[in-house]
Chains A and B, each alone.
Chain A
Amino acid sequence: MTATLTATPVRVRTERKPGTVRIVGSLAVVCFYALCAAFGPVLFRFDPVAVDTRNRLLPPMSHTSGGHLVLFGTDQVGQDLLAKMMQGARVSMTIGISALLLSGLIGLVLGIVAGYFGGPLDSLLMRLADIQLAFPGILLAILIAAVLGPSVTNVIVVLSISGWVTFARVTRGQVLATKRREYVDATRTLGARHWHVVRTCILPACRAPFLVIAALHIGDVILAEASLSFLGLGTPVTTPSWGTTIASGRDLLGTAWWISAIPGIGLAVLVVAFGVLGDALRDRFDPKLAGR
């Protein structure tokens, strides 16, 4: 007697990893901004000193006297707000990314030094971090910015100094959790020196939390840059960032709301996109949250 077995097709589980939709969605928004920042100023020439009094204070979706559409309206000296925002996106994102990389690098190095070598150096660095955390971040940034004066480089320096603490603490925690693991001891018993252990065992373990913190932090950095520029302590007026644009429209809120509102909305959307990205990355990489 023979039994025929009809093979049923094997169903492969195609369960999506947590947060895929959010990661893709927020990355799309971020990429859109990045493209605007990269190519926008090439397509829409922006001249910071150009004045066109005939076309000043045009509301969004109106036509200039020259006949072309201004999507976001014009400001008090007749500059196209769309072109100005794209230029602003370039400045804001450049500052955001540079400050993030610099503070990430400082935080990573100090966090590894503190966590790996421990001892008095660890205490010193972490107490320094505690002191800095006790200050409101923006207050510290204002203090340093007021001392250094407004310029793009100074803003990057200021934001890096106020941002390294988070990176250092997270990195240190990860280093402490990793350095007594058996595979680290095993690497040492094969004769590896500190640098090799850090490179092959410690750094890979820090990668995921570092990425998550970076994504969560970059929104804060861009927002802090806008705040500083709004207060006149960030980028100089000749380099229009979103903060300076919002500040310039402040006096005209009653008559020309779009000058402040549209860059504000643009800023909010980008910061929210980074926040969602950071949260989604944390959900994916944090094993403690897995299975929820």
Chain B
Amino acid sequence: MEPLLSVRDLRVRFGPVTAVDGVSFDVLPGETVAVVGESGSGKSVTMQAVMGLLPRGAEVTGSIVYDGRDLLARPIAETRKLCGTELAMIFQDPLSSLNPVFRVGRQISESLVRRRGASRKQGRAHAVDLMRRVGIPDPERRVDDFPHQFSGGMRQRAMIAMALSLGPRLLIADEPTTALDVTVQAQIMRLLADLRRETGMGLALITHDLGVVAGVADRVVLMYAGRVVETGTTREVYDHQAHPYTEGLLLSVPDDTGRADHLVPIPGQPPNPLRPPGGCPFHPRCRYAIDVCRADAPVLVDLAGRPDGHRTACHRPEAVGA
């Protein structure tokens, strides 16, 4: 199947800092791909590059092909035309991602009114419809509320409604549940999964929470220090992790017993982006590190003897989990 979004060898530099260093991944139509990594691993910057949201002064190379069109080779205005109708995005903090001065209904219907030339009245009906679909109770009344009258979960639902307004084929969700409390997190994740199934859109989910990924993602892309360290189907990566970082992340997810003292944290700190370590960027924190890890950066290669698509960037994948 032709991928909907295909990112190839993406590099983003902010002056001396390389935030994203040769990232490649695909999102197929109707597929959920989770991009996982800790803060500063470049996952958000990657998605901002896709949406054309990077600030001035960012140096971007590589290619971002959406539906056969290379977004980086064209002016940003072309990307803007695709935004909303083809690509849409929801953000980490629903508290600050709604415009405080307009009513929620108007914000949801804005793109329909502006892009499709609908009347305000049609827009309002459309907003009520969408709000009902994303599970906001009593939408006829809430459509006239301002964002500050909504709770956090309701605001994220309103954001999702805005993003879905024109029926995009790819939704990018940048840590959509980070700012919400746990019960609401589960509801929002279920809502996103349901909507994806109903609409058949692709979903690129950015998260640092492997627990969230297990339930919803078809494939995972693990990022560390601006690089992809492991990728594959969720099941395959969870059961046969082949990178020590993945292993570390999985060990630091609370299990059913929920006891904090059972958690095994990854020692050390993420590398300083101004002075990245030589060789494999993970070697200072890696318990399998050998001399070759300190000298050579491993490249992402198919893992021998495992199903297609399971790739890892590690010199000693056989040592992990053994």
> Measuring CB to CB, which residues of chain A are less than 8 angstroms from any residue of chain B?
118-119, 180-183, 185-193, 196, 200-201, 204-205
Which residues of the other chain, A, contact B162 by a CB distance below 8 angstroms?
186, 190
- The 3 tightest CB contacts between A and B, nearest first, are A191-B84, A191-B83, A182-B97
Other-chain contact of B159, A186, A188, A200, A204 (Cβ < 8 Å): A186
Besides A185-B53, A189-B89, 12 other CB < 8 A contacts? A118-B56, A181-B96, A186-B91, A186-B98, A186-B159, A188-B52, A188-B80, A190-B162, A191-B84, A191-B111, A201-B99, A205-B101
Whether the pair B96, A190 counts as a contact (CB closer than 8 A) is no
Asked whether any CB of chain A lies closer than 8 Å to the CB of B55, the reply is yes
CB distance from B225 to the nearest CB of A (A): 24
> Measuring CB to CB, which residues of chain B are less than 8 angstroms from any residue of chain A?
51-53, 55-56, 77, 80-85, 87-93, 96-102, 110-111, 114-115, 159, 162-163, 165-166
Known contacts A183-B99, A183-B100, A204-B101: does B53 contact A188 (CB below 8 Å)? yes
Which residues of the other chain, B, contact A187 by a CB distance below 8 angstroms?
99
Whether the pair B96, A182 counts as a contact (CB closer than 8 A) is yes
> Chain B residue with minimal CB distance to A187?
B99
Known contacts A118-B56, A119-B56, A182-B91: does B99 contact A190 (CB below 8 Å)? no
Whether the pair A191, B91 counts as a contact (CB closer than 8 A) is no
Known contacts A188-B53, A189-B51, A204-B101: does B85 contact A183 (CB below 8 Å)? no
Task: List 13 A-B pairs, Cβ < 8 Å.
Answer: A185-B91, A186-B90, A186-B97, A186-B159, A186-B162, A188-B52, A189-B53, A190-B162, A190-B163, A191-B81, A191-B82, A191-B84, A205-B101
CA distance A192 to B111 in the complex (A): 8
Known contacts A119-B56, A183-B99: does B84 contact A190 (CB below 8 Å)? yes
CA distance A191 to B55 in the complex (A): 17
Whether the pair A183, B80 counts as a contact (CB closer than 8 A) is no
Which residues of the other chain, A, contact B114 by a CB distance below 8 angstroms?
192, 196
Known contacts A189-B83, A191-B83: does B111 contact A183 (CB below 8 Å)? no
Which residues of the other chain, A, contact B91 by a CB distance below 8 angstroms?
182, 185-186
Q: Is the interface of A mostly helix, strand, loop or mixed?
A: helix
Whether the pair A189, B87 counts as a contact (CB closer than 8 A) is yes
> Chain B residue with minimal CB distance to A181?
B96
CB distance from B285 to the nearest CB of A (A): 31
> Chain A residue with minimal CB distance to B79?
A191
CA distance A48 to B53 in the complex (A): 63
CA distance A22 to B165 in the complex (A): 46
Whether the pair A183, B97 counts as a contact (CB closer than 8 A) is yes
CA distance A149 to B92 in the complex (A): 59
CB distance from B211 to the nearest CB of A (A): 24
CA distance A182 to B98 in the complex (A): 8
Which residues of the other chain, B, contact A200 by a CB distance below 8 angstroms?
99, 102, 110
CB distance from A185 to the nearest CB of B (A): 5
CA distance A68 to B91 in the complex (A): 74
Which residues of the other chain, B, contact A205 by a CB distance below 8 angstroms?
101
Whether the pair A190, B97 counts as a contact (CB closer than 8 A) is no
Which residues of the other chain, A, contact B80 by a CB distance below 8 angstroms?
188, 191-193
CB distance from A272 to the nearest CB of B (A): 33
Other-chain contact of B111, A119, A190, A204 (Cβ < 8 Å): A190
Which residues of the other chain, B, contact A191 by a CB distance below 8 angstroms?
80-85, 111, 115
Which residues of the other chain, B, contact A190 by a CB distance below 8 angstroms?
83-84, 88, 110-111, 162-163, 165-166
Which residues of the other chain, A, contact B159 by a CB distance below 8 angstroms?
186
Which residues of the other chain, A, contact B166 by a CB distance below 8 angstroms?
190
CA distance A187 to B90 in the complex (A): 10
CB distance from B176 to the nearest CB of A (A): 12
CA distance A16 to B63 in the complex (A): 58
CB distance from A202 to the nearest CB of B (A): 11
CA distance A186 to B111 in the complex (A): 12
CB distance from B186 to the nearest CB of A (A): 23
CB distance from B172 to the nearest CB of A (A): 8
CB distance from B206 to the nearest CB of A (A): 14
CB distance from A180 to the nearest CB of B (A): 7
CB distance from A156 to the nearest CB of B (A): 32
> Chain B residue with minimal CB distance to A118?
B56
Which residues of the other chain, B, contact A183 by a CB distance below 8 angstroms?
96-100
> Chain A residue with minimal CB distance to B172?
A189
CA distance A146 to B77 in the complex (A): 48
CB distance from B117 to the nearest CB of A (A): 14
> Chain B residue with minimal CB distance to A184?
B99
> Chain A residue with minimal CB distance to B94?
A182
Which residues of the other chain, B, contact A118 by a CB distance below 8 angstroms?
56
CA distance A19 to B167 in the complex (A): 48
Residue picked from A183, A187, A188, A201, most chain B C-beta under 10 Å: A183
CA distance A204 to B102 in the complex (A): 10
CA distance A182 to B95 in the complex (A): 9
Whether the pair B77, A193 counts as a contact (CB closer than 8 A) is yes
CA distance A201 to B110 in the complex (A): 13
